[in-house]
Structure 1
Amino acid sequence: MPLLPLILLALALLAPAAQAKSACVFEGTLQGKPIKDCSEIDLPVPVAEYRLQCEKHVDAFKRLGGEIRAYVAPACPKPALAGCKGAMGTPGTVYYYLASPTELANKQAACAKYGGSWLSGS
């Protein structure tokens, strides 16, 4: 599974605490391609803790040749091209915005492989 989906799934595994719904948006370029993905969870997590988890992955993207900006939002932007809900048993959904049809097909296969539910045109 590529790095970004793993990072987004990791964000969905944060321990419960104080705020209900949170989203982490990743925008920029990765290896010369535009990217915009978002991970949304519906768990009580303190804003500061979630922001730290969201932003700490930017360095990993830079090492992969990316210029990514990560920020916290109350929810992922709508509409998205597609999404993957509950992969690896997480209580979150990852939304995709700028993927090609081939990339979406690969993401859909990965979603199914990890037990998630695919959401078309989310």
Structure 2
Amino acid sequence: MRIAAPLLVIGLFVAPAAWSANRACVIEGTISVAGSSTAVKDCMEFSSDVTAEQLKSSCDAVAQASAGFGGKPGKVTLMRQCPRPASGACKGLMGRPLDAYYYGLSADAIQQKRQACETSTAVIKGGTWSDGK
């Protein structure tokens, strides 16, 4: 029992750190546009520390966005990092410490994502495209 108590105390401090180690989320769902449904699997990965609440809030907001396109809210899975390889990735999405990974895209869709990633406006800084590895 003497050994168990200190281990329990250590566990109480270490466990929250392990739980907060998630910096990414996969969002899977279907988007309907002009009567055509498309399966979507994307992942957001923060390149800096983020609280569990911030991660969940950000991921849930993106998942809910698919409902605005006529689909159901996407399914969110939290994880340490986005799965690799991906079809492609936008590093520093919108000038933020956030990388977006895209999966199962056609060649045309990859080019569209790349163009959107790299485009800068007066308000939003473009990101850097990566092959998703």
TM-score normalised per structure 1: 0.74
What letter corresponds to residue 23 of structure 2 in structure 1?
S
More strand by share: 1
The runs of 4+ residues in structure 1 deviating greater than 2 Å are: 56-60
Distance, in Å, in 2 between the alignment partners of 1:91 and 1:58 is 19
Q: Indicate how the Cα distance of structure 1 residues 35 and 76 shifts in structure 2: closer, same or farther if over 3 A, else same.
A: same
Structure of greater relative contact order (alpha carbons < 8 Å, 6+ residues apart): 1
1:93 corresponds to which of 79, 90, 99: 99
Shift of 1:90: 1.1
| Cα displacement (A) at 1:20 | 5.9
Shift of 1:121: 4.1
Equivalent residues of 1:39, 1:92 under 8 A apart: yes
Distance 1:49 1:93 in 2: 15
- Contact 1:21–1:41 (Cα < 8 Å) also in 2: no
What is the alpha-carbon distance in structure 2 between the residues aligned to residue 25 and residue 59 of structure 1?
A: 13
Whose Rg is larger?
2
Query: How many pairs align?
Result: 104
Specify the code of the residue in structure 1 equivalent to 2:31. L
RMSD: 1.8
Q: Distance in 1 between matches of 2:61 and 2:94?
A: 21
| 1:73-111 CA distance string (max 9 Å, x none) | 111011101101113221121111021111110111111
Task: Give 3-state SS (helix, strand or coil) of 2:30's partner.
Answer: strand
**Number of the residue aligned with 1:84:** 90
Gaps of 5+ in 1: 1-18
* Conserved? CA contact 1:40–1:76, under 8 Å: yes
The alignment's TM-score, normalised by the length of structure 2, stands at 0.69
Name 2:31's counterpart in structure 1. Answer: 30
Q: Displacement of 1:21 after TM fit?
A: 5.7
